[in-house]
Amino acid sequence: MTSTLQNDLTPYGGVVADAAWAEEVRSLARKRDAVLLAHNYQVPEIQDIADFTGDSLALSRIAASSDASTIVFCGVHFMAETAKILAPEKTVLIPDARAGCSLADSITGDQLRAWKAEHPGAVVVSYVNTTAEVKAETDICCTSSNAVDVVASIPADQEVLFLPDQFLGAHVKRVTGRENMHIWAGECHVHAGINGAELAERASENPDADLFIHPECGCATSALYLAGEGAVAPERVKILSTGDMVHAARDTKAKSVLVATEIGMIHQLRKAAPEIDFRAVNDRASCRYMKMITPAALLRSLREGADEVHVDAETAARARASVQRMIEIGQPGGGE
């Protein structure tokens, strides 16, 4: 078994996820007193070897409450940072620190400070897909499940700066009817690539299917529009975080479900409800950053204790306060 780093964003490779790999991963994790956490968008081999698979917030909470002294976070970098913010005394490893996120990278701390200066007194609401530095400049974080409750909790005469996702922001603005809400024009390249035209086509081809839609999708607005037009029965359209999708899969009576989010999600949904036919609205919706956590990267991480995630104490304390406020409002669900 070898692992080689070839160039900038080439994932670590050269390792087959066979029984010997699984045994070595488990044995190294035991030696390091590590718990393995995997996001729902990870490749199936990583999801299956993990101690826990879930959405970003659920995993961060597990990280904070676990007895293990080391957390190996198989996901993207801001998620591992959030785990470190909530569990500062633990060692947090990400198998490949280059696994970023186009949505989190769409706003920097400097850009947010400049935006705040243009709107003094505004309340800053940030989706959890943000860096620790941006969270530290934030008043309240939110997930897709409680974004509406968070914005509704802010006095009506106070301006709101909502970031970084424009589709989630548009969804919240429509539901709350709030005019004094400014939305950052950020997006995730994967979710933005799932569009309304494709959704409408898939929905008409599968008239009895439920639609599970992540609110970061470019098609979330179209789905609600289609429901409003009567093209799709409103009860078939479910706007859900990835964690809530697993619960909805167990509860639905539908025989088939169209899923509008990153395709890694389908693996967990099939495990939760094997009798249901789950199909991706766009089967090219794959996040290259999530897929950088390969079997080789996980093995390297456990062998070498790499890559360790650090957040300085002051940034972590300020970021933690905005995450705690999020947890206190509504049902935070799980974020992405």
Annotated binding site: 39, 56, 101, 127-129, 144, 188, 214-216, 242, 287
Q: Among residues 59 and 101, whose Cβ is nearest to ligand SF4?
A: 101
Residue 12 is given by DSSP the state P
As separate numbers, helices (DSSP H) first and strands (DSSP E) second, the chain gives 15, 12
Q: Which is nearer to ligand SF4, 218 or 295 (CB)?
A: 218
Site string for ligand SF4, 123-152 (x = CB under 6 A): ------x-----------------------
Site for ligand SF4 in 92-111 (CB under 6 A): 101-103
String of contacts with ligand SF4 for each residue 59-78, x by CB under 6 A = -----------------x--
- Helix, strand or coil, per DSSP, at residue 292: helix
Q: Which two tokens stand for residue 27?
A: 């044995």
Q: Is 259 exposed, middle or buried (0-12, 13-18, 19+ CB in 10 A)?
A: buried
For residues 60 and 76, the answer to whether their CB atoms sit within 8 Å is: no
Structure tokens at 202: 């898939």
Q: What is the spatial distance between Cα 123 and Cα 334, in angstroms, rounded to a whole number?
A: 22
Residue whose token pair is 């409103």: 234
User: What residues are designated binding site for iminosuccinate?
Assistant: 39, 56, 127-129, 144, 214-216, 242
Per-residue binder mask for ligand SF4 (CB under 6 A), 175-214, x = binder: -------------x-xx-----------------------
Smallest separation (angstroms) from ligand SF4 to the CB of 166 = 13
Asked if 290 touches ligand SF4 (CB under 6 A), the answer is yes
Least distance between ligand SF4 and beta carbon 334 (Å)? 13
Count how many Cα atoms sit within 13 Å of the Cα of residue 107 in the half-sphere of its side chain: 30
3-state secondary structure of 217: coil
Near ligand SF4 by CB under 6 A: residue from 289, 326, 333, 334: 289
Q: How far apart are CA 48 and CA 46, in angstroms?
A: 5
Q: Minimum distance between the CB of residue 55 and ligand SF4, rounded to whole angstroms?
A: 11
Residues that bind ligand SF4 (CB under 6 A): 76, 101-103, 129, 188, 190-191, 262, 287, 289-290, 336
